[in-house]
A and B are shown apart, each in its own frame.
Chain A
Amino acid sequence: MQTQDEITGEFQRPKLNYLNNGTTLKSWLLTKDHKRIALMYLISVSAFFMMGGIYASIIRLELLTPASDLLETGTYNKVFTQHGILMIFFFLIPSIPAVLGNFLIPIMIGAKDLALPRVNLLSLYLYWIGGSFALWGLMQGGVDTGWTFYVPYSTTFSNTYVMAVGLGIFINGFSSILTGLNFIVTVHTMRAPGMTWFRLPLFVWAHYAVSLVMVLGTPVIAITILLMALERVAHVGIFDPSIGGDPILFQHLFWFYSHPAVYIMVLPGMGVVSELISNFSRKKIFGYEFIAFSSIAIAVFGFLVWGHHMFVSGQSIYAGMVFSFLTMVVAVPSAIKMFNWTATMYKGSISYDTPMLYGIGFMGLFLIGGLTGLFLGAIGLTVHLTDTYFVVAHFHYVMVGGQVIAYLGGIHYWWPKITGKMYSEFWGKISAMLVFVGFNLTFFPQFILGYQGMPRRYAAYPPEFQVLNIFSTAGASVLAIGFLMPAIYLIHSLIWGKEAGPNPWMLPGLEWRTSSPPPTENFLEPPVVTWEAYEFGEDSGLDLEEARRRAAVAPVA
């Protein structure tokens, strides 16, 4: 599908689009255009991803040898803490919602903008302010509590910059809340005529579910961090057992947000993958309602399983049993999605473009990540696996193998829409392969290491674990190259890429029915939707003749 210009000639870049409507710095910093805000998020989020990645590289380098030789153990504590904080709060949580969701939701539902554009801009600024506090704290000397800020590490035993970083996360939380709030309002009130709830792309459904989690969960982490900070200042002891406080209470409050946050970090990825699988199989998605409602089910059940983070920290055994059961239950909607995606691909006309490679990669990696989650949700087995590298491998399979892969897939898929330019498909495929191979090489050995008993968060380990750690570090190098390549060829495409045209993939979604890049208010004519989601037949309103003509000249690979 890269050969369209051979068929139809050069595409003209639209004269007026959101990128050239105002070129001053002010027109960017004070914009209310969701697409510009999304682009600014894209740049900021990428910067945080780079920083988190550098910390990850340092961790992998340290673990190349059994002794703690590259870093002191105290420094190692800071390095893994900062890797976690940057990646989770400042990359994974805003990644897909704030970048792709922000850019695409109004276009996908046929609106001119999000319902509350000023709130959207405010959330970007809160993200920047929160990020600045966190970065300032990290530059001053960092935090060594682990990204979870468990008491008493964070209240009594740490004299690092807990307050600055905590304040950063507190502020950043409100950025996330406002983004979620905006999406909910937008989906409720801004849909174009004919865009019924069950014609919404599943990307939008997934974001609706995520937004619910953001609005309901994030305030709890805000108050938790506030309590932690007050406790750190006042030493009143609500988290200190020696004077009647309860450290498990902190863990309950923390995970009441942070477990649902895990779904903030994967549901948007599932939304992207629903798009990729259906569109690149050129087949109506199988079980649309099931996928849509499974997103909502994940959001709801996600709030009921936080206790599985405390199986061995002193929670009552009966609570543990209930949480274990609910953890098994929350796996069901994820499985429903997996089955429906597979059924969608069955007998579809699959084309292996770069986004689809990421989409298929997601399915494989998320499958492993999800199934190992069941190991950890079983209260018996988890006693053996808690706080080992098995846990590390599990959540990296879900977070990186899930969200990051889906994010990259989404960036590639919508890159022509965002920038109006096509990237190099050849390099795209190479990098997708490298990411997949590098990722597995990095994290699969960690399952084995964890099962053999290597604990997480230590700079040193017994020599018999070295071989697998070398595999892991080697894989991390491949993964790093795989992540760096898109940065190069995507930026390259901005200048030298071919014009993409409005619909380079020949797809029916509303976002492909406006120019690339879109005009400021998204559509020149207000759209009226008369087709179902993922409709590839005669009713889709697609130019089927044109699609056939292209397919004849450049057969789908």
Chain B
Amino acid sequence: MATHVDTHGEYHPPGLQHQFEDMKQQEESVSIGMWMFLVQEIMFFGGLFTVYLVFRSRFPMAFAAGSNHLNVVMGFANTLVLIVSSLTMALTVYYAQKGNRNMQVILIILTMIFGATFLGVKVVEYKEKYDDGLVPVTGLNRKVKASAGEEHGEEPAKPCWEGAHEEHEYINPKGEFQWHDCSLAKKAENEGFLTPTEKIGYYNPASGQIDANKFRDKVRIYFWIYFAMTGLHALHMIVGLILMSWLLYKAWKNTFSAEYYMPVEMSGLYWHFVDIVWIFLFPLLYLLGRHFIAHGG
């Protein structure tokens, strides 16, 4: 006890650090520490969820319009991929407790593959947004010259304001945010469920009509929140993959046993947490206002 050097003469279990008396104390400490870390993560994401809540309750139609433009199939596939990766992660913990090296290695690699798949799909989705001019930052969208605009085969959505020049659709030389579809706002207006805040937000005060540019700005807020939330989530996935690579190395060297498996369990907690964040993101971002499509078109 009186030694001032870090090495201990007597035997102690693998992975026991000097400040602890026994493994139980260490496991308890590490576990509380990880849970506190996850609590701070919840608060961290909580700020973004608050921003989402505020703007969604203020501009529900703009959010529904933006949400309908997300690729719900890819979002759903990603949800499945993440849930399965949670299963493989949980099994990794199980086999780490058993000390089964081969199963650990296989399952960690599987988890990593699922994580990478998720990120790959995310990249495809981001690319779609980039091509469609839906990145809310000017200059970060695909720049389309005026001549290239005519090659675009797709029929542009009908603009909802007077005096629009259809030939200028999809021409985006500066890479600005593009949004031309006001149909949801019109529909809500016709059926009379536009909220007072929405009226202030969408109407042009001079004409008393829905102003496409003002509506576009609200949709842009939606996409901004979409990118902030999914981007932060993807960043956490990347950190998770780095953790997994480290675990893979450790598992390869057969470090974990019934006595010492906390690193696997803690990484697992982190991985599950990141999955759960997605479980909230998916319905909040992808599934808004799908019924408008189902009924209206």
Does the CB pair B29–A177 fall under 8 Å?
no
The verdict on A223 contacting chain B, using a C-beta distance below 8 Å, is yes
The segment from A90-98, A226-234, A321-329 that touches chain B is A226-234
Given known contacts A220-B43, A220-B44, A223-B48, A234 and B29 CB-to-CB distance under 8 angstroms: no
**How distant is the Cα of A181 from the Cα of B35 in the complex, in angstroms?**
9
The verdict on B120 contacting chain A, using a C-beta distance below 8 Å, is no
**How distant is the Cα of A114 from the Cα of B17 in the complex, in angstroms?**
11
The verdict on B150 contacting chain A, using a C-beta distance below 8 Å, is no
Q: How many residues on chain A are close to B (CB under 8 Å)?
A: 51
The verdict on A119 contacting chain B, using a C-beta distance below 8 Å, is yes
**How distant is the Cα of A21 from the Cα of B33 in the complex, in angstroms?**
28
Q: Which of B31-45 contact A (CB under 8 A)?
A: 32-33, 36-37, 39-41, 43-45
Given known contacts A219-B47, A234-B137, A244-B217, A227 and B36 CB-to-CB distance under 8 angstroms: no
The verdict on A58 contacting chain B, using a C-beta distance below 8 Å, is no
Q: How distant is B131 from chain A, measured CB to nearest CB, in Å?
A: 19
- What 4 A-B pairs have minimum CB-CB distances, sorted nearest first? A223-B47, A219-B44, A113-B19, A219-B43
Does the CB pair A188–B32 fall under 8 Å?
yes
Given known contacts A114-B19, A236-B137, A237-B217, A218 and B40 CB-to-CB distance under 8 angstroms: yes
The segment from A134-142, A477-485, A520-528 that touches chain B is A520-528
Does the CB pair A220–B1 fall under 8 Å?
no
Interface flags, A105-146, vs B, CB<8A=1, else 0:
000000111111101000000000000000000000000000
The interface residues of chain A lying within 8 Å CB-to-CB of B25 are 189-190
Given known contacts A227-B228, A238-B221, A244-B217, A519 and B47 CB-to-CB distance under 8 angstroms: no
What residues of chain B have their CB less than 8 Å away from a CB belonging to chain A?
1-2, 4, 17-20, 25, 28-30, 32-33, 36-37, 39-41, 43-48, 50-51, 54-55, 58-59, 136-138, 201, 214, 217-218, 220-221, 224-225, 228
The interface residues of chain A lying within 8 Å CB-to-CB of B201 are 244
Given known contacts A116-B29, A189-B32, A220-B44, A16 and B4 CB-to-CB distance under 8 angstroms: yes
The interface residues of chain A lying within 8 Å CB-to-CB of B59 are 244
The interface residues of chain B lying within 8 Å CB-to-CB of A523 are 1
Does the CB pair B18–A189 fall under 8 Å?
no
Does the CB pair B47–A244 fall under 8 Å?
no
Which of B39, B214, B218, B228 sits near A230, CB closer than 8 Å?
B228
The segment from A81-89, A245-253, A501-509 that touches chain B is A245-253
The interface residues of chain A lying within 8 Å CB-to-CB of B37 are 181
Q: Which of A1-17 contact B (CB under 8 A)?
A: 16
| Chain B, Cβ-Cβ closest to A180 | B36
**How distant is the Cα of A521 from the Cα of B29 in the complex, in angstroms?**
18
Does the CB pair A190–B29 fall under 8 Å?
yes
The interface residues of chain A lying within 8 Å CB-to-CB of B36 are 180-181, 184-185, 215
Given known contacts A219-B41, A236-B137, A244-B221, A520 and B33 CB-to-CB distance under 8 angstroms: no
**How distant is the Cα of A235 from the Cα of B220 in the complex, in angstroms?**
11
Does the CB pair B40–A181 fall under 8 Å?
yes
Q: Which of A518-546 contact B (CB under 8 A)?
A: 519-521, 523-526
Does the CB pair A215–B19 fall under 8 Å?
no
